[in-house]
Structure 1
Amino acid sequence: MTIVIGMEGSANKLGVGVLQDGKVLSNVRRTYVTPPGQGFLPRDTAEHHRQHVLSVLQEAMDEAGITPDDVDCICYTKGPGMGAPLVAVALVARTVSQLWNKPIIGVNHCIGHIEMGRMVTGSDNPVVLYVSGGNTQVIAYSQRRYRIFGETIDIAVGNCLDRFARVLKLSNDPSPGYNIEQMAKKGTQYVELPYSVKGMDVAFSGILSHVEAIAKHKLESEECTPEDLCFSLQETVFAMLVEITERAMAHCGSKEVLIVGGVGCNERLQEMMRQMASERGASVCAMDERYCIDNGAMIAQAGWEMFKTGQITKLEDTWCTQRYRTDEVEVTWRED
């Protein structure tokens, strides 16, 4: 029996999760929410995490019904992410590890999403579409690495949606992407936008600039509604993601798609992916906001996998990095 605590704080979500041999005992989360039209700055986000991390840790342990003596390992997000928030949470993880005399493991944020998705959905060897505010990648496993088949060459799809939400002054509660999704459900007119797929890669910054320009001019003249623009933006960027995912499936001969990351909660993205997959005789593995959105349990799950195979992080190596590629991690817990 192995009990692991996972601590996540790479962006505006602070999370602490407790896992026991693949079973989630608790998964507590606090979100830093800014006023409409504003993003979250690293300094302010780090301050939010510092204010709440100890209470969130205590709540997670109380909910799981454990004490420090029950814990086998402390895991934290090593990267990628925003520097100041990462450090704020890593500092607590390091301190707790030393106070409780427990081993510590630095976890790749992207690997955390993947391993949580595999555990929750039971998917075996899927092509992974990882879509969030900071990352957009199409991934498949091969020879002890998660290989990146395609990715964004500029901004992440979640960042594109979030920034357009700011243009429309949508609320950041519970998240700008969620509010874009609800607006899109009311859209009736498709406004043509650039479609930017470059081989296996995608680009979103040009689409964002274009839809921002349309919002500035056409909304004033009432040629379209904010709902139409949200609908059009979603349809365009999700079609791009489905295209490169299908191409990766064809290359790998895969019959499974696993969608992870915060944007993976989007019901329209899941619907479009299922339509593509059904035409290929494949299935889609998707999750809800409990596990798609950044959380501590996913860090605990990936850390648990690493712990089982002896991947312990030395104290002097428990630093953070804003750039930590998915394919940099040796996947010691999977067999080819």
Structure 2
Amino acid sequence: MKPNNVLIALGLEGSANKLGVGVISHDVSTGAVEILSNIRHTHITPPGTGFLPRDTAAHHREHILPVLTEALKVAGVETEDIDVICYTKGPGMGAPLISVAVVARTLSLLWNKPLVGVNHCVGHIEMGRQVTGADNPVVLYVSGGNTQVIAYAEQRYRIFGETLDIAVGNCLDRFARVLNLPNDPSPGYNIEQFAKRGEKFIELPYTVKGMDVSFSGILSYIESIAPDLLSRNECTPEDLCFSLQETLFAMLVETTERAMAHIGSKEVLIVGGVGCNLRLQSMMAQMAEQRGGKVFATDERYCIDNGIMIAHAGLLAFRSGYTTPLEESTCTQRYNIKRCGPGFPKYL
């Protein structure tokens, strides 16, 4: 029998190629948070290819019931123990988002549970804060679909800088296709491993515009020079990965440092799938130490898209009285975090 002071949330995430289901509990009397289960299944495509929305949605529909069943089994909870069902409202890829939202609505009706639609970015940030203990950091949110420098002020998330075109993770993923690197476990991870063996630095365009960054030109440039350099044995694939990583991450460190100076923060929290990259964490830590600050980061359990971050953020909102009516339980691909205030974030 679940104690009255404990609330349990089920979280469903499927905004891209990761399908995640997580169960979390909050003890409202002590503030204790316990992760009961965090199950994930990834849609893997052949080397040299990306993932399409239609195929990704089909993957999510195929695997959602086994993943959901395993998450409940590992958590050791019954359906009657769950207080709220949380799902990713956006941003993300339309078809995968919808496929998971349909499941959330169905469970809400079957089990007679309230719904909370969660902003994907808020999920990353709040889970990162919970796991690392960061108080009020400058957040570097870096993933396959997002690149933003964010801070929280006056009950709103503020974007201090962002990409003007493609995300840093998308840039890395697309270059992995040029080198025909595997997508298992992820192209970004394989780029990171190649970069560790790189020795020669190839100068690439460095595009920082105020607080914003641009990656599309860098990608176009390295895509154009890579075949000739490799055919003439002037560098190795490892050298190219090393050069690309160093350039992209230096841009991110610069804009993050500028945001720290602007708001007077001594903390940096790195979230999102690219946040798992140890080289990015190392470069950011070196910058933060020079400013007398500290970097907070998580491992692949929480950096990579997962259901537990949706459950946690949704439960925080639910505890403050926020729910999503069934008729409003839609999805949006462009759910910018700035649109969350003064609504969803003020409940966090």
With the length of structure 2 as denominator, give the TM-score of the two structures: 0.95
Quick one: which amino acid aligns to residue 172 of structure 1? N
Q: Distance in 2 between matches of 1:4 and 1:328?
A: 24
Of all paired residues, the percent bearing the same amino acid is 71
Task: Confirm whether residue 31 of structure 1 aligns to residue 32 of structure 2.
Answer: no
| Candidates 204, 207, 215, aligned match of 1:204 | 215
Q: Secondary structure at the match of 2:88?
A: strand
| Candidates 71, 86, 111, aligned match of 1:75 | 86
Please list, as runs of the form range in 1=range in 2, the aligned pairs for 1:73-222 lying within 5 A after superposition: 73-222=84-233
Deviations 1:80-101 (A, max 9, x none): 0000000000000000001000
Task: Confirm whether residue 297 of structure 1 aligns to residue 273 of structure 2.
Answer: no
Q: Secondary structure at the match of 2:269?
A: strand
| Candidates 303, 308, 333, aligned match of 2:319 | 308
Task: Confirm whether residue 323 of structure 1 aligns to residue 344 of structure 2.
Answer: no
Quick one: which amino acid aligns to residue 46 of structure 2? P
Q: Which residue in 1 is equivalent to 2:20?
A: 15
Contact 1:145 1:328 in 2 (8 A): no
Q: Structure 1: state its 5+ residue gaps.
A: none
Quick one: which amino acid aligns to residue 3 of structure 1? I
Contact 2:322 2:347 in 1 (8 A): no
Q: Distance in 1 between matches of 2:323 and 2:74?
A: 26
The alpha-carbon deviation at position 327 of structure 1 amounts to 1.4
Task: Confirm whether residue 332 of structure 1 aligns to residue 339 of structure 2.
Answer: no
Q: Secondary structure at the match of 2:347?
A: coil
Q: Secondary structure at the match of 1:2?
A: strand
Task: Confirm whether residue 45 of structure 1 aligns to residue 56 of structure 2.
Answer: yes
Contact 2:162 2:211 in 1 (8 A): yes
| Candidates 243, 259, 262, aligned match of 2:254 | 243
Quick one: which amino acid aligns to residue 248 of structure 1? A
Q: Which residue in 2 is equivalent to 1:282?
A: 293
The alpha-carbon deviation at position 333 of structure 1 amounts to 3.2
The alpha-carbon deviation at position 271 of structure 1 amounts to 0.2
Q: Distance in 1 between matches of 2:315 and 2:163?
A: 29
Quick one: which amino acid aligns to residue 158 of structure 1? G
Contact 2:92 2:333 in 1 (8 A): yes
Q: Secondary structure at the match of 1:26?
A: strand
Contact 1:309 1:332 in 2 (8 A): no
Task: Confirm whether residue 2 of structure 1 aligns to residue 18 of structure 2.
Answer: no
Supply the RMSD in Å over aligned alpha carbons. 0.6
The alpha-carbon deviation at position 144 of structure 1 amounts to 1.0
208-217 or 33-42: bigger deviation: 208-217
Runs of 4+ in 1 over 3 A off after TM superposition: none
Q: Secondary structure at the match of 1:294?
A: coil
Q: Distance in 2 between matches of 1:175 and 1:235?
A: 19
The alpha-carbon deviation at position 332 of structure 1 amounts to 2.0
With the length of structure 1 as denominator, give the TM-score of the two structures: 0.99
Q: Distance in 1 between matches of 2:96 and 2:104?
A: 13
Q: Secondary structure at the match of 2:19?
A: strand
Q: Distance in 1 between matches of 2:157 and 2:310?
A: 16
